[in-house]
Amino acid sequence: MSAKTIGIIGGGQLGRMLAMAAARLNFRTVILEPQTDCPAAQVANEQIAGAYDDPAALAELARRCDVVTYEFENVPVSAAEALASQIPVYPPPKALEMAQDRLTEKRFINSCGIPTARFHAVDSQADLEKALADFGEQGVLKTRRLGYDGKGQRVYRSAADSAEGGYATLGNVPLILESFVSFEREISIIAARGVDGAVACYDPAENIHRNGILHTSTLPASISEETANAAREAAGKILTALGYVGVIGIEFFALADGSLIANEMAPRVHNSGHWTEAACVISQFEQHIRAVAGLPLGKPERHSDCVMTNLIGDDIKALPEWLRRDDTLVHLYGKTEARPGRKMGHVTQLLR
Ligand code: AMP
């Protein structure tokens, strides 16, 4: 196998874990990220310190690499397309386009025959009032673009909430109002598609969020095998429709009747898939590297039950206790300053 070079756009912890998985398979990695000494560059072969949409930096990335991937979904589509005209870019730029805007994303997911919450585009106060009236004054208002970890969202539970604030409270940007989903639990599936079209799905994880940020992912999820298969089937449809190559993370709401409603998709490795590095032979990171490098996908089988816990901000203070456990894999991201809400690392405890 000849050593190839993989470009990774984005220098965060996901890029770091991709670079580590790549190194084990003899691939070199080049990180494109403006911030130097970022989590990914600490473990990669090279860094190009430039903006994600800087034409010169992108041209340099294309020159140094055989294939380019990314670790976050807000890579400018134009930059990904420009690169794709020179070298393979996986996942395909179309996946970025579909995932960057919640309205486009929901329409796309529905076009695959997968249900989502009902939704209305909201571009004014009048739109918001009309949409809330349609949903019985309840719903979740979200920015269409650039929302993450629960940021750029507002929940309406009754007419009293509507009186308090409206369209302008989220910054006069294009919004979407989603109907409020009374879910029983939140699950996600990590799936991959290879260059040859093969699809591999890990077991769905059950996710608990705190303050809008993922707190734990637990395996197995408390769902039926039928519901798990419905998640796998939905992932297969999305991957195939996009002609996808790489790993994707798809989040769902599971309802009391066992049915699933898709919430969102991330065209990259996903926080709710970190458990795979401890409880599967092939982690989501290696799976992604295998896919984008054109290698056969690994089996996504899980050998242990487990719970992954994010270490956010001051959670890192519990590190000595985690390190004393002999059932727990600790993974740190190389960040020196523990700011509130900042993901510092994660731990995966095997439950045996
Ligand atoms: P998101 O940024 O879309 O992942 O939303 C963050 C969190 O808000 C989700 O994990 C849910 O807990 C909650 N949420 C989002 N959309 C809805 C919805 N339509 N109905 C009920 N809860 C929601």
- The answer to whether residue 112 sits within a structural domain is no
Instruction: Domain count for the chain, please give it.
Output: 3
Q: Which domain holds residue 76?
A: 5-89
pLDDT at 146: 86
Q: Does the annotation place 263 within a ligand binding site?
A: yes
Say yes or no: CB of residue 165 within 6 Å of ligand 1: no
Per-residue pLDDT for 209 more than 90?
yes
Say yes or no: CB of residue 315 within 6 Å of ligand 1: no
Over residues 79-96, the mean pLDDT reads 96
Same domain assignment for residues 190 and 173:
no
User: pLDDT tens for residues 338-347?
Assistant: 999 999 999 9
Domain of residue 227, CATH code: 3.30.470.20
Say yes or no: CB of residue 212 within 6 Å of ligand 1: yes
Say yes or no: CB of residue 105 within 6 Å of ligand 1: no
Same domain assignment for residues 147 and 128:
yes
Per-residue pLDDT for 233 more than 80?
yes
Confidence of residue 150 (pLDDT cuts 50, 70, 90): low
User: pLDDT tens for residues 90-135?
Assistant: 999 999 999 999 999 999 999 999 999 999 999 999 999 999 999 9
Same domain assignment for residues 204 and 294:
yes
Cα torsion through 122, 99, 262, 125, rounded to 10: -10
- The answer to whether residue 111 sits within a structural domain is no
Span from the CA of 253 to the centroid of ligand 1 (angstroms): 8
Q: Could you tell me if 207 and 307 are in contact, meaning their C-beta atoms sit under 8 angstroms apart?
A: no
- The answer to whether residue 66 sits within a structural domain is yes
Q: Does the annotation place 180 within a ligand binding site?
A: yes
pLDDT at 163: 60
Say yes or no: CB of residue 139 within 6 Å of ligand 1: no
Per-residue pLDDT for 2 more than 80?
no
Q: Could you tell me if 138 and 156 are in contact, meaning their C-beta atoms sit under 8 angstroms apart?
A: yes
Say yes or no: CB of residue 209 within 6 Å of ligand 1: yes
Same domain assignment for residues 83 and 124:
no
- Domain-ending residue, one of 143, 178, 213: 178
- The answer to whether residue 326 sits within a structural domain is yes
pLDDT at 152: 78
Atom of ligand 1 lying closest to residue 148 CA:
2
Say yes or no: CB of residue 213 within 6 Å of ligand 1: no
Residue indicated by tokens 């992604």: 288
Same domain assignment for residues 203 and 286:
yes
Tokens of 125: 């106060």
Same domain assignment for residues 160 and 192:
no
* Mutational test site, ligand 1, from 73, 102, 140, 250, max ligand atoms within 8 Å of CB: 140
Atom of ligand 1 lying closest to residue 263 CA:
3
Q: Does the annotation place 148 within a ligand binding site?
A: yes
- Return contacts of 124-133, CB within 8 angstroms, 24+ apart: 124/167, 125/166, 125/167, 125/168, 127/167, 128/166, 128/167, 128/175, 128/177, 129/162, 129/166, 131/177, 132/156, 132/162, 132/177
pLDDT at 22: 98
- The answer to whether residue 328 sits within a structural domain is yes
Same domain assignment for residues 190 and 330:
yes
- Domain-ending residue, one of 178, 202, 219: 178
User: 209: phi > 0 → left, psi -120 to 50 → alpha, else beta; which?
Assistant: beta
Same domain assignment for residues 167 and 209:
no
Strand-pair category, 305-312 with 343-351: antiparallel
User: pLDDT tens for residues 252-308?
Assistant: 999 999 999 999 999 999 999 999 999 999 999 999 999 999 999 999 999 999 999
Per-residue pLDDT for 160 more than 90?
no
255/163: higher pLDDT: 255
Distances, alpha carbon 133 to alpha carbons 115, 129, 165, 169, 174, in Å: 22, 6, 15, 19, 19
Say yes or no: CB of residue 140 within 6 Å of ligand 1: yes
Say yes or no: CB of residue 272 within 6 Å of ligand 1: no
**Among the listed ranges 25-39, 122-136, 164-178, 206-220, which one has the minimum average pLDDT value?**
164-178
Q: Does the annotation place 150 within a ligand binding site?
A: yes
Atom of ligand 1 lying closest to residue 182 CA:
21
Which residues, in sequence order, are bridge partners of residue 216?
208, 309
Confidence of residue 149 (pLDDT cuts 50, 70, 90): low
Per-residue pLDDT for 164 more than 70?
no
User: pLDDT tens for residues 25-78?
Assistant: 999 999 999 999 999 999 999 999 999 999 999 999 999 999 999 999 989 999
**Among the listed ranges 188-192, 211-215, 299-303, which one has the minimum average pLDDT value?**
211-215
Same domain assignment for residues 124 and 201:
no
Same domain assignment for residues 82 and 209:
no
User: pLDDT tens for residues 241-253?
Assistant: 999 999 999 999 9
pLDDT at 91: 98
Same domain assignment for residues 124 and 194:
no
- The answer to whether residue 316 sits within a structural domain is yes
**Residue with CA at minimum distance from ligand 1 atom 15:** 140
Q: Does the annotation place 259 within a ligand binding site?
A: no
Averaged confidence pLDDT in the chain = 95
Domain of residue 76, CATH code: 3.40.50.20
Same domain assignment for residues 173 and 67:
no
pLDDT at 169: 85
